[in-house]
Amino acid sequence: MRTRAAIIRLAVFLVVLAGLAVSVAVFGADAMRDWLNGAAESSWGPVAFVALYFLLVVFMLPGSLGTLAAGAVFGLWVGFGVAMVGATLGACAAFWIARSVGREGATALIEGRAETVDRLLEERGLVAITVLRLLPIVPFNALNYASGLSGLKFRDYAIGTVVGMAPGTFVVANVADRADDPMSPGFAAALATAALLVVASIFAARRLQSNIGVS
């Protein structure tokens, strides 16, 4: 009976997440950008921005919009800082929500099926989450909740999240900071750096994959 209840709770949780994902399309990027800009320009400034960024991540709204807004409003270094804090707090909250609500049900479902993968994440989670955060094709918000459902240790998750997303966050904030003059050498350099980061991230991820035995 307890196992069935856990699986039902997991199913409801996944339905709610799907609903949140659909809401992204309903609200649209423009509305989210307006919210972020309004928070940044309020009397609370960076604190309000971090709080809103945190909520956007928890509710599965695109975090890249927050980083772009942070760089555009606060500049490179402050923007990078507030984006990292907001994204990290939101990612950690999403992890614990999934862990508290759905982990028991996920464990019951994977029993005898994907236990090897789950155990691998538990034992070598730091490298695994760093690899996934480095890869630009892995959805940030989906990974937050999926990690909470897995056997990944929170310490490994938190450290891997910070290490893996820092390069991309820095580059996006840099591009946003210089976007007001798209013809400038600085903006061209920022775009070139972003392209190089994508290539370097994929290369680094492949190198790290060999450490955890993932083909």
Look at residues 61, 96, 64 and name the one whose alpha carbon lies nearest to residue 83. Answer: 64
pLDDT value of residue 190: 65
Q: What does pTM read for this prediction?
A: 0.79
d(CA 13, CA 103): 11
pLDDT value of residue 187: 65
Write out the residue range of the structural domain in which residue 79 sits. Answer: 2-212
Is the predicted pLDDT of residue 179 greater than 70, yes or no? yes
> How many domains is the chain partitioned into structurally?
1
Is the predicted pLDDT of residue 204 greater than 70, yes or no? no
Q: Is the CB of residue 151 less than 8 Å from the CB of residue 118?
A: yes
Lowest mean pLDDT, pick from 42-46, 93-97, 127-131, 157-161: 42-46
